[in-house]
């Protein structure tokens, strides 16, 4: 059972000094990192899920961190972003200027699927097949209606993609996989911002399944392809 952000504040932050609050902030950031590492591990999902799940704990720890930063400011502190936080903040600040998203996933033997989302005044999505384009209807999981541009951007914001590593590899966990699945994700902007790219080789961000669902990709579809 997770407590609310205000409950966290009352129990752990009220009356604390700036130094004590900063210590709590560091602990929350460490907890977020540990949860992500657990969910990105190659064996995640093999063992029974804890309750609350890592995903639930991650959500609420983010909320506690936001409340702790607020408490730190209220105590007179000036919070300085880390380099990774600066990258995430920059990504979030420029999300409304995204004009094109390209997502490729597949492998040497099974081929690749190339998904493209163009964001101008409207949203246009398609699967790129060599020189051909196959229209793709992206459905909002909440409304079950086709995504609008604003709704799609909002869904991306909820995934905290700016916090992702630029590259994911199994070597991080001490082993190498030959062939398998590779993926690339790129963002282009209409405000002069430099393109941002992510990618991986048989290794994925902790919420990669949720990201794929935005493109209508789910585990069932992947299993059928196999």
At 102-143, the pLDDT tens digits run 999 998 767 889 999 999 888 999 999 877 889 999 999 888
Taking residues 220-224, report their average pLDDT.
46
At 7-44, the pLDDT tens digits run 999 999 999 999 999 999 999 999 999 999 999 998 88
More confident residue, 179 or 206: 206
Reduced to 3 states, what is the DSSP secondary structure of residue 104? strand
- Going from the C-alpha of 121 to that of each of 63, 98, 169, 208, the distances in angstroms are 32, 11, 36, 27
Please spell the DSSP secondary structure of 158-217, one letter per residue: TTTGGGS-SEEEGGGGT----SS-EEEEEEEESSSPPPEEEEEES---TTHHHHHHTTT-
Lookup result for tokens 């909320």 = 63
pLDDT at 8: 97
pLDDT at 175: 84
Q: Give me the half-sphere count of Cα atoms (radius 13 Å) on the Cβ side of residue 65.
A: 18
The most distant pair of C-alpha atoms in the chain lies apart, rounded to whole Å, by 63
pLDDT at 222 over 60: no
My answer on whether omega of the bond before 52 falls inside 30° of 0, hence cis, is yes
The ranges assigned to domains in the chain are 5-80, 91-225
CATH of 91-225, one of 1.10.287, 3.30.1560, 3.30.200, 2.30.170: 3.30.1560
pLDDT at 221: 47
pLDDT at 107: 85
Phi and psi of 189, rounded to 5°? -125, 155
């Amino acid at each position: 059972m997770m407590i609310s952000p205000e409950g966290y504040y009352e129990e752990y932050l009220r009356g604390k000094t700036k130094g004590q609050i900063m210590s709590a902030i560091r602990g929350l950031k460490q907890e977020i990192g540990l949860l992500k590492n657990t969910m990105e591990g190659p064996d995640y999902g093999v063992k029974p899920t804890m309750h609350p799940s890592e995903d639930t704990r991650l959500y609420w720890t983010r909320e506690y961190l936001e409340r702790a930063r607020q408490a730190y400011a209220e105590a007179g502190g000036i919070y300085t972003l880390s380099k990774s936080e600066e990258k995430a903040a920059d990504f979030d600040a420029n999300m409304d200027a995204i004009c094109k998203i390209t997502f490729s996933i597949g492998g040497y033997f099974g081929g690749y699927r190339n998904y493209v989302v163009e964001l101008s005044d409207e949203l246009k999505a398609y699967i790129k097949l060599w020189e051909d384009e196959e229209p793709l209807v992206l459905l909002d999981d909440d409304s079950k209606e086709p995504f609008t541009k604003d709704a799609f951007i909002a869904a991306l914001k909820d995934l905290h993609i700016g916090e992702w590593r630029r590259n994911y590899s199994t070597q991080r966990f001490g082993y190498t996989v030959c062939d398998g699945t590779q993926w690339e994700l790129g963002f282009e902007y209409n405000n002069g911002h430099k393109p941002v790219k992510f990618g991986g080789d048989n290794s994925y961000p902790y919420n990669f399944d949720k990201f794929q669902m935005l493109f209508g990709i789910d585990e069932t579809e992947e299993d059928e392809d196999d």
